[in-house]
Amino acid sequence: MKKIAIACDHGGYELKLEIIKKLAELGCECEDFGCDSTESVDYPIYAEKVCNAINEKKAELGILVCGTGIGMSMAANKKKGIRAACCADTFSARMTRLHNDANILCLGGRVVGAGLACDMVELFVTTEFMGGRHEKRIALFDETRG
């Protein structure tokens, strides 16, 4: 059973609730780091919580949801050891695990519907990193990030 850290801002709250249901269906253990309503909050605070859970090995993968997924992705990718991908289609959600070994999926609650988001989540959590020629490229991420 994979352990997944999840968080959102106000723009992603409703989608986060749907994703948590999907993760339960997939047999994943999910730790919710907030937020807990549609009241306005600052997304970098929630992105950091999920990043810390991954870097501290308290979760294998993370999911971040804001209005577009872009802000969460930008905030998460500032952290060493994090490879966050903002996706809006199933092909990208699968390939970002397969080739990029992404450890956080960022989604936009105002961009994708619950059905598509849940399909992306399933692909993200069930696809394993291909390794091989991609390993040296992934290693470069942390070498080039201070």
pLDDT tens sequence across 86-128: 999 999 999 999 999 999 999 999 999 999 999 999 999 999 9
Per-residue pLDDT at 50: 98
Distance CA 133, CA 39 (A): 44
Dihedral over alpha carbons 110, 129, 26, 58 (to 10 degrees): -90
- pLDDT of 143 > 90? The answer is no
Catalytic, 87? Answer no
| Residue 69 backbone phi and psi in degrees, to 5 | 90, -15
Q: Which domains does the chain have, with CATH numbers?
A: 3-143 (3.40.1400.10)
Q: Is 66 a catalytic residue?
A: yes
Q: Please say whether the beta carbons of 41 and 9 come within 8 A.
A: yes
pLDDT band for 144, please (50, 70, 90 cuts): low
Residue 77 above 60 pLDDT?
Answer: yes
Which of 28, 35, 51, 66 is labelled catalytic? 66
